[in-house]
A and B are shown apart, each in its own frame.
Chain A
Amino acid sequence: DGGITQSPKYLFRKEGQNVTLSCEQNLNHDAMYWYRQDPGQGLRLIYYSQIVNDFQKGDIAEGYSVSREKKESFPLTVTSAQKNPTAFYLCASSIRGAESYNEQFFGPGTRLTVL
């Protein structure tokens, strides 16, 4: 089945530790995205990548880092510099388009809790 996989579903981390969230897609999509979701705030874009080895900051990139070494993978690292990391993290992907928008498909999410 084609789709987006995020692992783990639940993640606990101690304060001061970095943690990496996995996102894999087998849809052959060029573009991938990371969003953060907090209650009452909708989704906010952290980072996005339109092509391998290239990525751009979104609206709330501080305290996060990403890499895009393979087309199908876009891991997100939540660093100790992120002041309030407890949230639900969603990964998405889309066919990269030139000027037109392409639908984003979402993974099931990872809930990160900082203890």
Chain B
Amino acid sequence: AQSVTQPDIHITVSEGASLELRCNYSYGATPYLFWYVQSPGQGLQLLLKYFSGDTLVQGIKGFEAEFKRSQSSFNLRKPSVHWSDAAEYFCAVVLTGTASKLTFGTGTRLQVTL
């Protein structure tokens, strides 16, 4: 079955430490890939997206993600986490030609300790 997996439900990092959030997808073809962030009780904000080309994509707020076709992964990274990065992060995919229907992972909640 086609799916998006975020294996880490909850991650805690210290402020200033590096961060990597994992995302794996299971589709026959390479989908479009996205990372969204959600602060408590708020809507979602797009951090970055991958359609094609350079497999390392830069996003807002200092985030980046790397697409690895061989591993069907699209992991999100940040070299140095700030306390304001505490939020929930969602990986999402859309298959080409599917009317922009996003499929989301279950999310990873990031806690940042000072």
Contact = CB atoms under 8 A, between A and B. Distances in A.
Q: Do A and B bind each other?
A: yes
Contacts of B96: 99-101
Contacts of B45: 106
B111 to A, nearest CB: 16
Contacts of A106: 36, 43-45
B37 to A, nearest CB: 11
A104 B106 contact: no
A112 to B, nearest CB: 13
A109 B90 CA distance: 16
Contacts of B32: 101
Interface in A32-61: 33, 40-45, 48, 50, 56, 58
Given A106-B44, A106-B45, A45 B101 contact: yes
A41 B107 CA distance: 8
Nearest to A105: B46
A76 interface: no
Contact of A111 (B41, B92, B105): B41
A63 interface: no
Nearest to A4: B43
Q: What is the interface residue range for chain B against chain A?
A: 20 to 34
A109 B100 contact: no
B99 interface: yes
A94 B100 contact: yes
Nearest to B6: A42
Contact of B107 (A33, A42, A58, A102): A42
B100 A90 contact: no
B29 to A, nearest CB: 13
A40 B99 contact: no
A101 B105 CA distance: 18
Contacts of B84: none
Interface of B: 4, 9, 32, 36, 41-46, 49, 51, 90, 92, 94, 96-97, 99-102, 104-107
Interface of A: 4, 31, 33, 40-45, 48, 50, 56, 58, 88, 90, 92, 94, 96-97, 99-109, 111
10 tightest A-B CB contacts, nearest first: A106-B43, A42-B104, A106-B44, A43-B104, A42-B106, A108-B43, A101-B32, A101-B94, A101-B100, A107-B43
